[in-house]
């Protein structure tokens, strides 16, 4: 069942979940500031799944690294990150790799603004044990 929750309500609730290790948000989005609060309030968070609406978002149509930067800034203990359908760019992905040194599983399916090429592709391939790329099923 789906219950819409405002960012403010979500932040108020998550501040009470200090031992939270797994968080999934589906068909919603959190602003970077809210994700920073999640990271600060839940230092044991190991798995984050942000699943956006299944509508395709193509390169240059809409790009925003706010969520990625919030994750990078506040969730250094993440092991598993799913960003299905996110509108992050290579800049956001680079920030996540820099800020989440323990990341082992990364799902970028339908993240059409990410271009895994060159050094970024090499870095992901060497470090991430389980990498799901943009166009994988």
Number of domains, the chain = 1
Q: The pTM is what?
A: 0.86
CA atoms of 2 and 108, how far apart (whole Å) = 23
- Residue 48 domain-assigned (yes or no): yes
- Residue 2 domain-assigned (yes or no): no
Residues 90 and 124 sit within 8 Å (Cβ to Cβ) = no
What are the pLDDT digits (tens) for 27-63? 666 677 888 999 999 999 999 999 886 555 554 557 8
Strands (E), the chain: 22-26, 47-51, 80-82, 105-107, 130-132
- Residue 84 domain-assigned (yes or no): yes
**Sign of the alpha-carbon dihedral angle for 23, 101, 29, 106:** negative
Domain range enclosing 85: 7-132
- Residue 1 domain-assigned (yes or no): no
């Amino acid at each position: 069942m789906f219950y819409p929750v405002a960012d403010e309500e979500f932040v108020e609730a998550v501040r009470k979940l200090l031992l939270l290790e797994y968080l999934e948000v589906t068909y919603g989005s959190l602003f970077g500031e809210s994700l920073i609060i999640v990271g600060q309030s839940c230092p044991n968070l190991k798995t984050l799944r942000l699943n956006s609406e299944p509508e395709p978002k193509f390169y240059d149509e809409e790009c925003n690294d706010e969520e990625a930067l919030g994750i990078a800034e506040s969730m250094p203990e993440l092991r598993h990150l799913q960003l299905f359908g996110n509108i992050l760019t290579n800049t956001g992905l680079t920030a996540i790799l820099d800020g989440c040194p323990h990341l082992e599983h990364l799902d970028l399916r339908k993240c059409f603004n990410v271009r895994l090429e060159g050094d970024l592709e090499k870095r992901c391939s060497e470090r991430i044990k389980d990498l799901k790329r943009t166009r994988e099923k």
